[in-house]
Structure 1
Amino acid sequence: MNTTEKQKLSVLIITFNEERYIKSLLEDVDFADEIIVVDSYSTDSTIKIVQSFPNVTLIEKKFVDYTSQRNFAIDQAKNDWILFIDADERLTPELKTEIISTIHNKDAVSAYLVYRIFMFKNSKLRFSGWQTDKIFRLFNKTYCRYTEDRMVHEKLIVNGKIGILKNKIIHFSYTSYQEYKLKMYKYGILKANEKVKKGQKPVRILLIFHPLYTFLYQYLIRLGFLDGINGIIICYLNAYSIYIRYKEFFRLTSSKI
């Protein structure tokens, strides 16, 4: 991937009812050569806010699952270098500088993982499994595509070398108990449908064992107890999502719990 040409960056964002975050994010990524928002027909002020930015392209597309929405967004980008960012994520000035220098580096690799700082309301969650959280956010679309066998917690398939950026993204994922619980519920439903799509068979014992294991692993092994009450809440809600996954999986396969 050696090149001396000036590289341009496309920022991609998928949204649904993100009026709380989208204005700050669009201001945050104004250094990009192209910004595309793929919205799933938001019912709040998201669309109005996006349209107030003349340098942002808005595309509306019905949501099916996260993977298809992300791959669709990639196909709309004019540039090879993609920064895929969620509405509740923020870039530090140091990370912006690193991104720009990285894509202009003649030895740049195909994709870069970025570590994330998980924010529980206004405080940093230090443990509970999030201390090593990293995700693909910067990549060259020529060599990358999201695998279609996942509907949520998307997996990027990378053809080539993988790097890791030094600076971290700030992830404002948790703003309230009910909002995060709803998010975990939706993830659980999508993961259940993913299992059905793959033709998997339900195993009754996993309905109890897997959520319990998830809570104990994150709370004890991944040191969630060091996050105090916040750790209990996050570990419980992550286990709750696993429970919803299997409950819905049994319902979809017409099995009695």
Structure 2
Amino acid sequence: MENNPETSLIGNGRPRPRVSGVITSFNEEHNIGDCIESLAWCDEIIVVDSFSTDRTPEIAQGYDKVRFFQRNYFGAGAQKNWAMRHVRSDWIFLLDSDERCTSELRREVKTLLADGPEHDAYMMNRDVYLLGKRIRFSGWQHDRVARFFRTGTAYYENRRVHSVLHATGETPILDHPIEHHMVDRSFDEYAFRLAKYGYWNAAQCWRDGDRTSSIEVMVRPVWRFFRTYILQLGILDGSTGIVFCLLQSYSTYMKFAILWGWQTNEARGIPPGLPEFDEDESTWDGLKELTKSEGATSEE
């Protein structure tokens, strides 16, 4: 692991912990600049890109603090674990390209570092935006993620999507949120992304030994919409809520439809077209050591 912390002094004479911003990206030319600038307070920013075909690499490499890498994408957890092996700081603040660290959160983190953190990892609420409008319900009102943690104390699982972060000790929630601009420009890009997530989710289910049925293909998306729009109050998000909940239902449909298709083809002797997973042991060494220790927790 390439860790070489450099420190300066804070007001009470103690060394100021260095912070590395970590960002993962793929074809995020409309987001990457704002994301990097929201982490300008960090001592360095590591961007790990999955060989974008747009201007993402050009934009990212235009910032002096950025250390830019490109790596094949094997899943969110693999990408982030790989990035964390290359930091040169005491702490890590991690974002996806469509997320932002707010000025209020930045000040809170700086105060936390100045006072001396009592924990190794911290969670924060995540405010979701759809075409510039905040989604306050629809199942996202309690969305929390652990994105600020001491280097070497937290690692992600080997999953293609929705990888869980495991950390040492408790993970208290900070007062201020990060912003998640889930859909900032157009629905066509987001619909394509949801279809891709559906494929990756299906691949994860197949890898885990899960199977489905045609009934589940029909029922699961309907239940997802009912749960998010009615039970989780998506109706209170107005017209944005109904569109948003339908999109989430579409992703669920793609997941189970693809899984059902693979099962059907398997009976015909046709193997599923699964994506690659990262089988490099070094990517997961930190997670293995962490889960062996007592007091390890996850963000779920």
Bigger Cα Rg: 2
Confirm whether residue 8 of structure 1 aligns to residue 18 of structure 2. yes
Residues 125 and 178, structure 2, Cα contact 8 Å, conserved in 1: yes
User: For residue 98 of structure 2, what is the amino acid of its counterpart?
Assistant: D
Distance 1:104 1:218, change over 3 A: same
Q: Which residue of 2 aligns with 1:158?
A: 167
CA distance in 1, matches of 2:115, 2:170: 14
User: For residue 201 of structure 2, what is the amino acid of its counterpart?
Assistant: K
CA distance in 2, matches of 1:186, 1:209: 21
Pick one of 194, 201, 221 that aligns with 1:191: 201
RMSD between superposed Cα atoms in Å: 1.5
Confirm whether residue 86 of structure 1 aligns to residue 93 of structure 2. no
Q: Which residue of 2 aligns with 1:56?
A: 66
Pick one of 118, 130, 134 that aligns with 1:120: 130
Confirm whether residue 25 of structure 1 aligns to residue 55 of structure 2. no
Confirm whether residue 218 of structure 1 aligns to residue 213 of structure 2. no
Pick one of 38, 52, 74 that aligns with 2:48: 38
Shift of 1:209: 1.7
CA distance in 1, matches of 2:148, 2:256: 33
- In structure 2, the residue corresponding to 1:82 is in which secondary structure? strand
- In structure 2, the residue corresponding to 1:90 is in which secondary structure? strand
Residues 146 and 171, structure 2, Cα contact 8 Å, conserved in 1: no
CA distance in 2, matches of 1:218, 1:34: 39
Deviates more, 1:200-209 or 1:38-47: 200-209
Any unmatched runs of 5+ in structure 2? 1-13, 268-300
Confirm whether residue 96 of structure 1 aligns to residue 106 of structure 2. yes
TM-score of the superposed pair, with normalisation by structure 1: 0.93
TM-score of the superposed pair, with normalisation by structure 2: 0.80
Shift of 1:244: 0.6
User: For residue 171 of structure 2, what is the amino acid of its counterpart?
Assistant: I
Shift of 1:255: 5.8
Distance 1:76 1:252, change over 3 A: farther
Aligned length: 252
Residues 81 and 103, structure 1, Cα contact 8 Å, conserved in 2: no
Residues 115 and 134, structure 1, Cα contact 8 Å, conserved in 2: yes
Any unmatched runs of 5+ in structure 1? none
- In structure 1, the residue corresponding to 2:16 is in which secondary structure? coil
- In structure 2, the residue corresponding to 1:183 is in which secondary structure? helix
Q: Which residue of 2 aligns with 1:172?
A: 181
